[in-house]
Amino acid sequence: MTTERERIADFDEEKLAGIIDLYLRTGIAVHSPGAMGRQFSGVVPLAGVIDFVTSMVNQPSSFYEAAQLPNVAEQIMAEELNAFIGWPAGGFGMVTTSGGSLANLTALLAARNRAFPDFWEGGGPGPVGSGRPAIAVGEDVHYSVSRAAGVLGIGEAQIVRLPLNARRQVCPDRAEAVLAAAERRGLQVFCVVASAGTTSVGAFDPLDELADLAHRRGAWLHVDGAHGASLLVSDRLRPKLRGIEKADSLAWDAHKMMFVPAPCTLLFYRDREQGLGAFRQQASYVFDEEPDLYTALDSGGETFECTKRPMIMALWALWAVHGRALFAEKIEQLCRTTGQAHQVLLEQPDFEALHEPEANILCFRYRPAGLTGTGPADRRELHRLQVAIRNRVKRDGTFFISKVDIDGTAALRVVLMNHETSTEHFRMLLREIRSAGQDIQLNGKGNR
């Protein structure tokens, strides 16, 4: 930090170099093949260049008059990507939001306002006899949905948890009975939230069946596809989202599997008019009294954000220059490598694979001989060992992995986001985990 307090300090090239070096050294090395811990990746270089231009141009993109090209680019990308969703042209809508959590909140607002049209103005649960507003979710739903329930005034007590099958997908057959029981308790489930790529294990809920179930009960189906919606651009992987065209809304994070700078989330609505119901304000300083051809491109009335980065530009530039294949081939490679990593894991007698990966997320445990995890004390020891291993691997810095609790016991979790990560890198990771685990057990060093 400069010690100058009375005048603007002179530019110090060495100081700037130190700041940049510190920034690079202390962050997650997302371009390293050893970075397997989170659902963000290194960006395609062209996207970084466009993001730099975006920062310098500094156009807030909620209104066409301030950011003309970004608002047009949103419409172009909406049409390009809807070709893989499958909604009729002309009726659907898309708006960008700063992250999947905000997209989920916005979609739930639209769903709530459709089911309870007086809630926005008057608050409360609605007319007598209408039931308390409730949301139905899978057990592994992203935590942002629970947060949204609190923000919306619905409350976590009104979240209906739908049972999962052995693959950690929502089970539609068992969900029917749970929804019926919720109705008997005086709850009106206005929205069912399905996941296309859960954060924990990357599971894809059966969208086709859940859409039918939701619509039979008069509920909105929102799909949290923050991670997995990008598989739609791959002909080989698109069937994992079978039934997506029946959904009412879809959250899609381009900053995850489309390899652009964060945040860049696309919120799609099957019926654009329903999406317009999320917010209901007027403000003379931004909303025009006489809409025209250009204000029709504004998104300020559809999002919580007034000042919003033109985040679409990096995605549109990549798509415009390279086309779909850039994304499809990279996504397919990541999923293929994750499947190969799963096979490597099955060959290791002291490791336990917890699921067969559906995309590029793989969870497992280091389970040395003698540690069965069957009794309460053994399970606690197994849990502590996974946490200690993860902390040791993170501290040593060659690899970066994450952890997740599955059925109450910690598991190690990798997310392959870098196309340069190979099965040999994964074997190297397993050797480091094994070494760390043996040392922790032998010396009892734990997290030290």
Domain layout of the chain by residue ranges: 53-322, 325-443
Of the candidate CATH numbers 1.10.246.90, 3.40.640.10, 3.40.50.300, 3.30.1540.20, the domain formed by 53-322 belongs to 3.40.640.10
Distance in angstroms (rounded) separating the CA atoms of residues 393 and 350? 17
E strands, 196-283, are: 220-224, 249-253, 265-269
Q: What is the pLDDT of residue 297?
A: 73
Per-residue pLDDT band for 128 (boundaries 50, 70, 90) equals: very low
Contacts 24+ apart (CB under 8 A), 347-350: 348/430, 350/434
Which one has a higher pLDDT value, 285 or 401? Answer: 401
Per-residue pLDDT band for 130 (boundaries 50, 70, 90) equals: low
Find the range with the poorest average confidence among 246-250, 307-311, 333-337, 345-349: 307-311
- State pLDDT tens for residues 191-210: 999 999 999 999 999 999 99
User: Is residue 388 scored above 90 in pLDDT?
Assistant: yes
User: Is residue 232 scored above 60 in pLDDT?
Assistant: yes
Domains 53-322 and 325-443 equal at CATH topology level: no
Find the range with the poorest average confidence among 145-149, 333-337, 351-355, 413-417: 145-149
- Angle, CA 249 vertex, CA 359 and CA 92 arms, to 5°: 115
Find the range with the poorest average confidence among 140-154, 225-239, 366-380: 366-380
Q: What is the pLDDT of residue 289?
A: 57
Q: What is the pTM of this model?
A: 0.91
- What phi-psi label fits residue 186: left (phi over 0), alpha (psi between -120 and 50 degrees) or beta? left
Distance in angstroms (rounded) separating the CA atoms of residues 117 and 421? 50
Helix (H, G, I), strand (E, B) or coil at 225: coil
Q: What is the CATH number of domain 325-443?
A: 3.90.1150.170
